[in-house]
Chains A and B, each alone.
Chain A
Amino acid sequence: MKSQAKKVCPTEALLTTPSLLWLLAFFAVPAGLVLLLAFRPADLHGGVGSGWSVAAIKAASDPAYLPIWWRTLWMSGVSTLLCLLVALPMGYHLARMPRRWQGIMVLLVVLPFLTNFLIRVFAWKSLLHPDGMVCRGLIAMGLMTEEQQLLYNAGAVVVVMFYVQLPFAILPLYAAAEKFDFGLLDAARDLGAGAARAFWEVFIPGVRGGLVAASLMVFISGVGQYVIPQIVGGVDTEMIGNKIAQRVFSDRNLPEASALSSMLLLGVLALMIANSLRRRLMAKEGPGV
């Protein structure tokens, strides 16, 4: 096992300083401010009053939020699962392509980023619109009736979330697959595993790091979504992000928005900390027997 040096050498400290400062200034301080705001009273003019109050925390803990939290979790979960299901075989095949093609394909994967995010979501809105291509096509094939809707429901939100987040799942999985020794799959086949079994028993554990990274990236960006449900979702597909946006822009209740944001932030942080703890634990224990 690698021995971990406990002493930090001066150059290392120096090199870490810029990113540390960046994190402090643009992440830790704003997050702290948001957390502080949650303990301030709201004033009647949409600003923040003086003194301290737990009113915002109480309001944000209203059980009426529970179904929205639950919906946020399951919609992000489903879109994460869809992303992994598509990105895993894609990462595998990308890594097995000739080098020259890998570069071109990765370029194609990130190409959608050249179009503004909002425009892409609006494009989906016109695709799924009752007069859009998809709807008309499905109706023509008899797979859908005129009364049915593709837009303004949870399905539409999950599909668009899946579309938007897919590259974030493909890239870490491709990076992991690219480092994978495909000779191990030959070895697994040689030892009696069928192609699917070899993929499951050897490839999946081999890209585990990439899988965890892809899941976290997609899931975390999913739970923070509010634009997609706003545009392609309906009244019953609101996510916690929409509620935060409402508290900020419509109700001008910054403390309650801050309270909700803090809860989301702490949840995500807990997820990240759990992951890094798991990794540290695994490194310490060695292989599971």
Chain B
Amino acid sequence: MEDFLVIDAIRKRFGNHPALDGVSLQIREGEVFSLLGPSGCGKTTLLRLIAGFDSPDSGQILLQGRNVAGLPPEKRPVNTVFQNYALFPHLSIRENIAFGPKMAGWARSQISSEVARMLALVKMEDQADKLPSQISGGQKQRVAIARALVNKPRVLLLDEPLAALDLKLRQHLLVELAALHREVGTTFVYVTHDQAEAMSLSHRIAVMNAGRVEQVDVPESLYRAPRTPFVASFIGDTNLLAGSITGTSSNGCKVTVPGLGVLEIRPETPITVGDQVTLSLRPEDLSLTDGKDSDPSLVGVVDEVIYFGAFTRYWVTSSNQRLLVQTHGKAAWARGDAVRVAVDPGTLHIVEMKSSVQ
């Protein structure tokens, strides 16, 4: 169902600063959809608009076809997991989870059975009568999820729920979160600035930058086929190189890149000879060969070598371009070596194009 939650041409300004500049998204029922971007890109603003804490200047938010943009937060069938969890400090864990059902006026017996079910779901039965100040950060996060899910929201909004935790715990909770989603099947809208978090958890990701959506795609496509230089550099590491189309070949065209030579590319959009393009090359798609007998214009020098264990990274300068190359295993080249950078064919990807013809 493509039109479960539709964000339609949303604009929101704070003073002179456009926080959201015409954002449109379609979120499917039951998916984990991430809003990914650097701080200040508008992802949290968008989440707050969906939750109802702010209202958009223009545009619609349609949940199952109904515009909810004018409704106050308490009238929307969505619940939020806040970044700092926002657990009520004067209430026990149990009472925190029971807060929503109590507001909704559920019967007492139903409240206690549903709260017990949620406590079991997030494995917090033993801590149910403690205060939020008496449990750990990871436990608070689980309580915050239980407190939101107990209301059976159509959409669960998660605002950087792991940002306050340390790396080990974050990775552990990410696995738990994925399992939890499989169990409840609720639509998740997940805000994060951490691309690894988004890539591992999400079915689809919207990459946002400066109040706009740059690209919406499955994680694999975002990584392999980024459509803008921003997406290419934000998702993982990449080399962004300028090139020009210098000819055609049997199954595509030839692109000349300073320092790399003439490469073959199969463009997805129509392209003509003379066009200037920006290419994205992932470090792991590059390799190094001996540069002794090569054309001098294609020979680079290894500037820096860093060994990471499973792989080694080299920074190579070739024709005034700095390239990041990643290879498996231990270092085969040393600083100062003359090398030639080879490109794995078929991995070249155009992220920006300036046509020579107007």
Name A's B-contacting residues (CB within 8 A): 1, 181, 183-184, 186-195, 197, 201-202, 205-206, 208, 286-287, 289
Is B263 interfacial (CB 8 A cutoff)? Answer: no
A140, B100: Cα distance in complex, Å: 52
Closest residue of A by beta carbon distance from B85? A187
A208, B90: Cα distance in complex, Å: 10
Interchain CB contact under 8 A, A184 and B103? no
Is B134 interfacial (CB 8 A cutoff)? Answer: yes
A183, B85: Cα distance in complex, Å: 9
Are A184 and B74 CB-contacts (below 8 A) given A191-B147, A192-B100? no
The stretch that binds A, out of B56-64, B91-99, B176-184, B298-306, is B91-99
Partner of A287, one of B99, B103, B129: B129
Which residues on A sit within 8 Å (CB–CB) of B55?
Answer: none
Interchain CB contact under 8 A, B88 and A193? no
Q: List 5 A-B contacts (CB under 8 A).
A: A1-B134, A184-B89, A186-B53, A187-B86, A187-B87
Partner of B74, one of A183, A189, A206: A189
Interchain CB contact under 8 A, B90 and A189? no
Shortest A101–chain B CB gap in Å is 17
Interchain CB contact under 8 A, B99 and A183? no
Interchain CB contact under 8 A, A191 and B89? no
Interchain CB contact under 8 A, B84 and A197? no
A112, B110: Cα distance in complex, Å: 54
A192, B104: Cα distance in complex, Å: 7
Interchain CB contact under 8 A, B103 and A191? yes
Interchain CB contact under 8 A, A206 and B90? yes
Interchain CB contact under 8 A, B99 and A188? yes
Interchain CB contact under 8 A, A187 and B95? no
Closest residue of B by beta carbon distance from A185? B86
Binary interface profile of B, 120-150, with partner A (CB < 8 Å = 1, else 0)?
Answer: 0000000001110010000000000001100
Q: A186-B73, A186-B82, A187-B87 are in contact. List 7 more A-B contacts (CB 8 A).
A: A189-B52, A189-B72, A189-B74, A190-B74, A286-B130, A287-B95, A289-B92
Interchain CB contact under 8 A, B92 and A190? no
Are A183 and B82 CB-contacts (below 8 A) given A193-B103, A287-B91? yes
Which residues on A sit within 8 Å (CB–CB) of B95?
Answer: 287, 289
Interchain CB contact under 8 A, B84 and A183? yes
Which residues on A sit within 8 Å (CB–CB) of B74?
Answer: 189-194
A220, B272: Cα distance in complex, Å: 87
Partner of A192, one of B53, B90, B103: B103
Closest residue of B by beta carbon distance from A205? B90
Which residues on B sit within 8 Å (CB–CB) of A191?
Answer: 74, 79, 99-100, 103, 147-148, 151
Please give me the 4 A-B residue pairs with the lowest Cβ-Cβ distance, nearest first. A192-B103, A187-B86, A191-B100, A205-B90
Closest residue of A by beta carbon distance from B53? A186
Interchain CB contact under 8 A, B100 and A206? no
Are A187 and B82 CB-contacts (below 8 A) given A286-B131, A287-B131? yes
Shortest B69–chain A CB gap in Å is 16
Q: How many residues of B contact A (CB 8 A)?
A: 31
Interchain CB contact under 8 A, B73 and A287? no
A188, B92: Cα distance in complex, Å: 15
Which residues on B sit within 8 Å (CB–CB) of A189?
Answer: 52-53, 72-74
A184, B147: Cα distance in complex, Å: 13
Which residues on B sit within 8 Å (CB–CB) of A192?
Answer: 74, 100, 103-104, 151
Shortest B38–chain A CB gap in Å is 22
Which residues on B sit within 8 Å (CB–CB) of A187?
Answer: 80, 82, 86-88
Shortest B19–chain A CB gap in Å is 17
Interchain CB contact under 8 A, B73 and A206? no
Closest residue of A by beta carbon distance from B48? A186
Closest residue of A by beta carbon distance from B128? A289
A188, B151: Cα distance in complex, Å: 13
Is B51 interfacial (CB 8 A cutoff)? Answer: yes
A147, B84: Cα distance in complex, Å: 62
Which residues on B sit within 8 Å (CB–CB) of A206?
Answer: 89-90
Which residues on A sit within 8 Å (CB–CB) of B84?
Answer: 181, 183
Residue among A189, A201, A287 with the highest chain B CB neighbour number at 10 A: A287
Are A181 and B86 CB-contacts (below 8 A) given A190-B80, A191-B99? yes
Interchain CB contact under 8 A, A190 and B51? yes
Shortest B51–chain A CB gap in Å is 6
Which residues on B sit within 8 Å (CB–CB) of A190?
Answer: 51-53, 73-74, 78-80, 148
A206, B91: Cα distance in complex, Å: 10
A192, B129: Cα distance in complex, Å: 23
Closest residue of A by beta carbon distance from B157? A190
Which residues on A sit within 8 Å (CB–CB) of B82?
Answer: 183, 186-187
Shortest A90–chain B CB gap in Å is 22
Which residues on A sit within 8 Å (CB–CB) of B88?
Answer: 184, 187-188, 202, 205
Interchain CB contact under 8 A, A287 and B92? yes
A192, B51: Cα distance in complex, Å: 11
Which residues on A sit within 8 Å (CB–CB) of B78?
Answer: 190
Closest residue of B by beta carbon distance from A181? B86
Closest residue of A by beta carbon distance from B133? A1
Shortest A181–chain B CB gap in Å is 7
Shortest B84–chain A CB gap in Å is 7
A202, B88: Cα distance in complex, Å: 7
Partner of B103, one of A186, A195, A197, A286: A197
A191, B86: Cα distance in complex, Å: 11
Which residues on B sit within 8 Å (CB–CB) of A1?
Answer: 134
Shortest B203–chain A CB gap in Å is 24
Shortest B92–chain A CB gap in Å is 4
A289, B91: Cα distance in complex, Å: 8
